[in-house]
Amino acid sequence: MARLVAALLREDDRRCLLGEDVRSGGMLGLSRVAAEDEQLRPRLLGSPLTGAGLVAHAGGLALAGLRPIVLLPSASALLEALPALRELGRLPWRSGGQHDVPVLFVAPNGPGFGVGGDQAECAEATLTAVPGVEVWCAGRAEDLCGYLRSAAEFLGTDTDDHDTEHTSGPRVLLLPRSVIVRDLMIDLDLDASLPRAPTAVLREGDRATVFAWGAALAPALAAADACARHSGIEVNVVELGCLAPLDEALLVELASATGKLVIAHAGPRRGGIGAELAALFADRSILHLDAPILRVTGELPANLALLAGHEEHRASPTATAIANAITHVVHY
């Protein structure tokens, strides 16, 4: 991904990188290649600021005609900067559409790396509640480059317009830490950076539909494989790469096709995006549902699991738990 970050800077001289340590490699080494390039180095802006100050600074650069990419050490930095992020999100609306704010925030999210406390929190439920802010979340290591390119180019979130640029408010790209760990084990290159639609059907089946994103996507795919192999149950697995705004029409269509739904995600069960999805399907797919909508999350919230000394993988749903939920709804 470091080579892709440098390539993005070369392709558009309006782009710049912000972050506390971008001139020395940046978060997860994402700016390492750019920092070694003397032509790109002037566009790496070290910003030892508070979260709110960094968000405001990036917004000012965007209004001046630049396209900042902000590398954050953790998504929790955006939680500390919520008032500033809210202001950035409503700027296009307050200006009557005269001002776009093409700022991309890239941040690790959720459990992983052995971090504890608030750093391990899954921030997407809070971030998706901020009006005017798009929230994307990668789910597979091999798609990280594709997500980064699509997010940085401010491509559309719908399958019909994902190759068309449209800018308005800021965008957040969450990189689940468990996915980043898998990224370190495979060889990513620029060929893997083709733009992609963030909401996609990764596996097809007619018995049930599993909606998953982020750290829960790999267990969901593993659960679908296990159900097919051991029970002959073929299910749809849908990746929600864009969490705000939701592609409601597509999601309702996919939910109604099978009528048996499982929603899998890391982070809190109460008040999360899974609850929002369940409400959406109860509102618009109720006549097609043949079983209760099941949500599968981790055993404990990420920050509590780590503070209590439990293994951090308990903060994300397991393939076994998702497979059990699939079996339950199919035989309901």
pLDDT in tens, 223-267: 999 999 999 999 999 999 999 999 999 999 999 999 999 999 988
pLDDT value of position 118: 59
Structure tokens at 259: 């009528």
Instruction: Dump pLDDT digits (tens) for 75-92.
Output: 988 998 999 999 999 988
The top-level CATH class assigned to 2-192 is alpha beta
CATH 3.40.50.920, applies to 200-330: yes
Beta-strand runs (E) in the chain: 15-19, 44-46, 67-71, 104-109, 134-137, 171-176, 199-203, 209-212, 236-240, 242-244, 261-264, 294-296
Asked if residue 222 has pLDDT above 60, the reply is: yes
Q: Looking at 36-40, 165-169, 257-261, which range is the least confident one?
A: 165-169
45: left (phi > 0), else alpha (psi -120 to 50), else beta?
Answer: beta
pLDDT value of position 196: 66
Q: Decide whether 2-192 matches 200-330 in CATH topology.
A: yes
CA nearest to 319, candidates 253, 228, 252: 228
Helix ranges restricted to H, 25-98:
32-35, 51-63, 76-80, 82-94
Contact of 272 with 285, CB cutoff 8 Å: no
Q: What percent of the chain has pLDDT over 90?
A: 55
Per-domain residue ranges of the chain: 2-192, 200-330
**Over the chain, what is the mean pLDDT?**
85
Asked if residue 187 has pLDDT above 90, the reply is: no
